[in-house]
């Protein structure tokens, strides 16, 4: 399911002409061609390559690249869990991974940085690709390139809107019927699909092409987002093998955000969308692993009259409901909270569920509901609060059991 590469080479975007794949075409004309990819410019220098360290030492960057990633701070790379988790369940050793910075995998100026730790989301499920995200910590800071802020839960309603333009970057396969990889990253313009196509089995018409979505047995819109692109009326743009772990990006400049991580798909540039890990749903994990910068974002507006202090963990009350837990948050007024997140971990299976909320306009105590839980099962609940200065540490775990009725 994943869009990593079975062999270490480069990666880019599969951008194929539907007319080139028409059933009436002869075998000699079935040559999909890249028709809408463009080189990633300097503003997207946050996209990095994951390199197999032993292969790199003998064969260089192009042959050793196996996934993509996003530099969210000078010392942290966000990628896909399936990029660093083996089929047998073991995680790749940090010393076996290098991060390539600079874009051109064949260039002698390609900079490499050692990885000192690998953190896979504790709720990652390989069979379903739920929570397909991982964080790599680097041994030294990357300098001279842009970093990209992950999307926070409180920003998501305004950004994750059906039909919004996004872009995907990587070094993945550019051919559906062969292996064709570039040495420099390629950018493809995509569109966010409705949640109904990413777990509801719905369809979506984009520029004359009707896409068939995934049902609930394949995708979950709480943790995943679907996207593809169409140029004109007959050309589908999609991520492909080798793009795994790379960024799905919304906006430019100070407004740019990491909104998704390349996770999986069926056929590159087919009439099903690509599936991406929903970054805003990974907020607690990204906070705990240092994927957010420690300093306030330059784009975060804070009223001068609001005394902002470093956030401390909130106080929480957990109330059982039918197949759900309601989490109420309390923080000092001086915290200047901008958002809250609660996480429930199934004590038996390790499955992770979350909810998010913002401060209430009426001044009442904020709360959110973690739904679709298993009644009668113990859950360990933690919470964090964020403000303009960053995000708090998690609260101490609270054990709770969803009610049966």
> d(Cα 173, Cα 152) in Å, to the nearest integer?
30
* 13-35+150-283 and 315-400 in the same fold: no
Q: Pairing mode, if any, of strands 165-170 and 247-250?
A: antiparallel
CA 270 to chain centre: 21
CB 66 within 8 A of CB 86: no
> d(Cα 177, Cα 246) in Å, to the nearest integer?
22
Q: What integer is the mean pLDDT of 7-14?
A: 34
Q: Who's near 261: CB < 8 A, 6+ residues apart?
A: 70, 78, 79, 80, 132, 133, 245, 246, 247, 248, 276, 277, 279
Question: pLDDT at residue 149 above 90?
Answer: yes
Q: What integer is the mean pLDDT of 291-296?
A: 72
> d(Cα 72, Cα 261) in Å, to the nearest integer?
12
Selecting from 2.60.40.10, 3.40.50.720, 2.130.10.10, 3.40.30.110, what CATH number does the domain 315-400 have? 2.60.40.10
Selecting from 3.40.50.300, 2.40.110.10, 2.60.40.10, 2.40.10.10, what CATH number does the domain 42-146 have? 2.40.10.10
| Selected catalytic residue, list 244, 263, 269, 392 | 244
| Assigned CATH class of 13-35+150-283 | mainly beta
pLDDT in tens, 152-165: 998 999 999 999 99
Residue 235 has phi, psi (to 5 degrees) of: -120, 115
Q: What integer is the mean pLDDT of 2-20?
A: 36
362 or 287, which is more confident:
287
| Selected catalytic residue, list 17, 45, 64, 132 | 132
Question: pLDDT at residue 42 above 70?
Answer: no
Q: Sign of the C-alpha dihedral, residues 106, 112, 115, 121?
A: negative
> d(Cα 35, Cα 25) in Å, to the nearest integer?
19
Structure tokens belonging to residue 209:
């092409």
Supply the pLDDT for residue 123: 92
Is 244 designated active site?
yes
340 or 19, which is more confident:
340
Summary mean pLDDT of the chain = 82
Domain coordinates of the chain in residue numbers?
13-35+150-283, 42-146, 315-400
Q: Picking from 229-233, 349-353, 394-398, which range would have the lowest pLDDT averaged per residue?
A: 349-353
Q: Who's near 258: CB < 8 A, 6+ residues apart?
A: 70, 72, 78, 148, 149, 150, 151, 247, 248, 249, 279
Residue 8 has phi, psi (to 5 degrees) of: -80, 105
């Amino acid at each position: 399911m994943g869009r990593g590469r079975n062999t270490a080479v480069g990666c880019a975007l599969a951008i194929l002409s539907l007319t080139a794949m028409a059933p009436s075409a002869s075998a000699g004309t079935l040559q999909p061609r890249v028709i809408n990819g463009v080189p990633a410019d300097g503003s997207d220098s946050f996209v990095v390559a994951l390199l197999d360290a032993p292969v790199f030492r003998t064969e260089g960057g192009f042959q050793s690249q196996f996934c993509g990633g996003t530099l969210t701070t000078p010392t942290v790379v966000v990628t896909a869990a399936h990029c660093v988790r083996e089929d047998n369940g073991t995680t790749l050793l940090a010393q076996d991974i290098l991060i390539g910075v600079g874009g051109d995998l064949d260039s002698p100026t390609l900079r490499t940085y050692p990885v000192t730790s690998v953190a896979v989301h504790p709720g990652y499920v390989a069979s379903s690709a739920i929570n397909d995200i991982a964080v790599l910590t680097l041994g030294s800071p990357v300098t001279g390139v842009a970093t990209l802020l992950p999307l926070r839960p409180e920003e998501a309603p305004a950004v994750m809107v059906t039909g919004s333009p996004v872009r995907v970057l990587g070094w993945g396969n550019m051919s559906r019927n062969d292996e064709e990889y570039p040495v420099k990253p390629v950018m493809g313009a995509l569109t966010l699909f409705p949640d109904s196509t990413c777990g509801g089995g719905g369809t979506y018409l984009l520029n004359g092409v009707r896409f068939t979505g995934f049902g609930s047995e394949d995708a979950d819109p709480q943790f995943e987002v679907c996207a593809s692109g169409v140029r004109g009326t007959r050309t589908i743009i999609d991520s492909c093998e080798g793009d795994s772990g790379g960024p799905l990006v919304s906006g430019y400049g100070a407004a740019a955000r990491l909104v998704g991580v390349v996770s999986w798909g069926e056929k590159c540039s087919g009439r099903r969308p690509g599936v991406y890990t929903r970054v805003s749903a990974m907020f607690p994990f990204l906070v705990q692993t240092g994927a957010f910068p420690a300093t306030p974002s330059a784009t975060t507006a804070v009223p001068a009259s609001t005394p902002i202090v470093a956030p401390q963990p909130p106080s929480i009350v957990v109330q059982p409901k039918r197949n759900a837990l309601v989490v109420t948050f309390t923080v000092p007024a001086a915290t200047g909270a901008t958002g809250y997140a609660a996480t429930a971990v199934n004590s038996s299976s390790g499955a992770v569920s979350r909810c998010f909320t913002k401060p209430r306009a009426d001044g009442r105590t904020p709360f959110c509901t973690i739904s679709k839980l298993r009644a009668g099962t113990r859950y360990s609940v933690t919470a964090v609060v964020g403000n303009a200065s960053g995000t708090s540490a998690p609260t101490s775990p609270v054990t709770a059991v969803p009610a049966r009725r």
